[in-house]
Amino acid sequence: MSADNMHIKLKVWRQSNSNTKGDFENYSLDHVSPDMSFLEMFDVLNEQLIEEGKEPVAFDHDCREGICGMCSMYINGRAHGPLKGVTTCQLHMRSFNDGDTIVVEPWRAEAFPVIKDLVVDRDAFDRVISAGGFVSVNTGNAQDANSLPIPKIAADEAFAAAACIACGACVAACKNASAMLFVSAKISQLALLPQGQAERTIRAEKMVAQMDAEGFGNCTNTGACSAECPKEIGQENIARMNREYIGAKLSSSAV
Amino acid sequence: MSWFSQTLTSSIGKKLLMALTGLFLISFLVIHATINAMIFYNDGGETFTHWGHFMGTNPIVRTLEIGLIIGFLVHIVDGLILWKNNSEARPIKYAMNKPSANSTWYSRSMGLLGTLLLIFLVIHTAHFWIPNRSNQFATGEELNLYQMMLDIFQNPLVVLIYVLGCISLFWHLLHGFKSAFQTLGLNHIKYNGAINFLGTAFSIVVPILFALMPISIYLGWVY
Ligand code: HEM
Ligand code: SF4
Ligand code: FES
């Protein structure tokens, strides 16, 4: 191994299923490259475990390029680790020091039960999204959608909200395990666009109701979610959701 | 459930109640601090007693006082419900957590700071408001609140409790003032600067003004 070979100690949460009590296991890796991503480092760990005849660590991942939102890991007390605006798969071992002990835990929230090791069930997010329902305005194919005139400011703001990858880091980082940043991003991306107007009020009402039913906490505006969000979704979205929801409750025909 | 109670019991509805009652309590603090600051005229309590008498007897103010009690109760009960809900939303805590990397400690401690305020409020109302109102109820006469202040604030322990109460108020408001606007959806680049400035200034000025009252009396600056 080259001169910049790293020795890393890991303290990883192991739990065989949602009904068992988990605990931390300690591991030691002697051949970690600073250029590896955090997940590649876990691949190395798992190969080592398989060679030793042990159960590899279960962790979620898919794209490994920061767009799918699967790679949920609470690393050294931070959602997705120490960097700003970065998912675990985009975090590299050069962000750590040789000899470091790294603590890795799953997202902790009543609404995100642990399935196995570091894998949590984030179906609650999917149920919030489906509660939002359909957009009845037909947007057509790509070029039809592009031909619909939308003011640049609205398009930019909607796009910034739509950048949310539903990773759950906001819930994981929030002291209240509140999902308000995620839900506000999903409500905002449609509330800002002309296609989203027809179902605007009912969507806000239903998505918030589903969010509450899932057992997420209540936002106290600490701002932790935006600070830890890999897509840097801003607090103004939560303010917009509050306006949308209160406005919807006061004006919608659902009594 | 009707749409109305559904709204108020939803997560955003509970936050809305928190923000509205919080801002209402802030407006009360403005009046409370202004009238009490009359002791700094150092005129033997004449101006203070004049306005205290007005606040204690004017029928409109006395009606508003009922609103204030309800406001306090809603804020406290709703705050404690939110606090409970929020701790239930994360039954298993992190073994290693670094929240200081993403938020201020006082924004994460509103329930604790609020509880300290509640303890202070019990002590404070037991000193002045409860004896005065019960005397008014029993005899129709107001107590000499100014003389009571001079007496009560001779005890350094009481002065310390009041100063600690003011410090809790400072931290609670430093987050609460801005937070209330965000909850109400009032987050806008045109006004955020003004809200932040006003929130910080208010959180500093009002608690210092309040803390100076027991301190000044204890040190004999006001007599
Ligand atoms: C007496 C006991 C009190 C308790 C138990 C209490 C508790 C709380 C709690 C739990 C919150 C919610 C945390 C958050 O939203 O960030 C809160 C928010 C707030 N409190 Fe208090 N508080 C008390 C007194 C006061 C007083 C005396 C004032 C002001 C004069 C005040 C003003 C506020 C404001 C403005 C908020 C922000 C509302 C929002 O975030 O939407 N509180 N309080
Ligand atoms: S708002 Fe940010 S942190 Fe929350 S789910 Fe979306 S991308 Fe992840
Ligand atoms: S694996 Fe897809 S965002 Fe990290």
* DSSP one-letter string for A8-68: EEEEEEE-SSTTS--EEEEEEEEEE-TTSBHHHHHHHHHHHHHHTT-PPPP---S-SSSSS
Tell me the percentage of chain B whose pLDDT exceeds 90: 93
Note whether A77 contacts B185, CB cutoff 8 Å: no
Q: Which residues of B touch A216 (CB under 8 A)?
A: 11, 89
Closest listed residue to residue A220, CA positions, set B114, B179, B199: B179
**Contact A13/A105 with Cβ under 8 angstroms?**
yes
Please give the average per-residue pLDDT across B50-65, as a whole number: 93
pLDDT tens column, A22-36: 999 999 999 999 999
Pick from A66-75, A90-99, B54-63, B66-75: least confident: B54-63
Give the model's pLDDT for residue A137. 87
**Contact B22/B74 with Cβ under 8 angstroms?**
no
Q: How far apart, in Å, are the Cα atoms of A84 and each of A88, A95, A229, B102, B104?
A: 11, 12, 8, 10, 17
Is it true that domain A123-251 has CATH number 1.10.1060.10? Answer: yes
Note whether B11 contacts A78, CB cutoff 8 Å: no
Tell me how far the alpha carbon of residue A9 is from its chain's centroid. 26
Phi, psi at A23, each rounded to 5°: -160, 170
Give the model's pLDDT for residue B207. 98
- Which domains are assigned to chain B? 3-91+104-218 (1.20.1300)
Please tell me if the CB atom of residue A180 comes closer than 6 angstroms to any atom of ligand 2: no
Note whether B85 contacts A103, CB cutoff 8 Å: no
In DSSP terms, A13 is beta-bridged to A24
Please give the average per-residue pLDDT across B130-135, as a whole number: 94
**Contact A109/A103 with Cβ under 8 angstroms?**
no
Tell me, in angstroms, the distance from the centre of ligand 1 to residue B117's CA.
Answer: 9
Could you give the CA distance from residue B215 to residue B163 in angstroms, rounded to a whole number?
8
Q: Is B96 on the interface with A (CB under 8 A)?
A: yes
Give the model's pLDDT for residue A3. 57
For residue B62 the two structure tokens come to 């006395």
pLDDT tens column, B149-181: 999 999 999 999 999 999 999 999 999 999 999
Q: Which residues of A touch B13 (CB under 8 A)?
A: 249
**Contact B201/A249 with Cβ under 8 angstroms?**
no
pLDDT in tens, chain A (255 residues): 455 899 999 999 999 999 999 999 999 999 999 999 999 999 999 999 999 999 999 999 999 999 999 999 999 999 999 999 999 999 999 999 999 999 999 999 999 999 999 999 999 999 999 999 999 888 788 887 778 889 999 999 999 999 999 999 999 999 999 999 999 999 999 999 999 999 999 999 999 999 999 999 999 999 999 999 999 999 999 999 999 999 999 998 877
Instruction: Name the DSSP class of B102.
Output: T
Report A:57-96 residues touching B (Cβ under 8 A): 74, 76-78, 82
**Contact A14/A23 with Cβ under 8 angstroms?**
yes
User: Based on the number of CB atoms within 10 Å of its own CB, is A174 exposed (0-12), middle (13-18) or buried (19 or more)?
Assistant: buried
Please tell me if the CB atom of residue A86 comes closer than 6 angstroms to any atom of ligand 3: no
- Report CA Rg, chain A: 20
**CATH number for the segment(s) A2-116:** 3.10.20.30
Instruction: In chain A, list all ranges with CATH 1.10.1060.10.
Output: 123-251
Could you give the CA distance from residue A172 to residue A195 in angstroms, rounded to a whole number?
32
Give the model's pLDDT for residue A1. 46
Q: How far apart, in Å, are the Cα atoms of B126 and each of B70, B133, B176?
A: 18, 11, 26
Q: Which residues of A touch B2 (CB under 8 A)?
A: 255
Pick from A103-112, A246-255, B86-95, B196-205: least confident: A246-255
Ligand 2 pocket, mutate which of A126, A182, A207, A228 (most atoms under 8 A from CB): A182
Could you give the CA distance from residue B221 to residue B59 in angstroms, rounded to a whole number?
34
Q: Whose CA is nearest to atom 9 of ligand 1?
A: B79
**Contact A185/A164 with Cβ under 8 angstroms?**
yes
In DSSP terms, A119 is beta-bridged to A116
What is the distance in angstroms between the Cα of B209 and the nearest Cα belonging to chain A? Answer: 27
Disruptive mutation site among B84, B103, B106 for chain A (greatest number of A CBs within 10 Å): B103
Q: Is the pLDDT of residue B73 over 60?
A: yes
Could you give the CA distance from residue A208 to residue A142 in angstroms, rounded to a whole number?
30
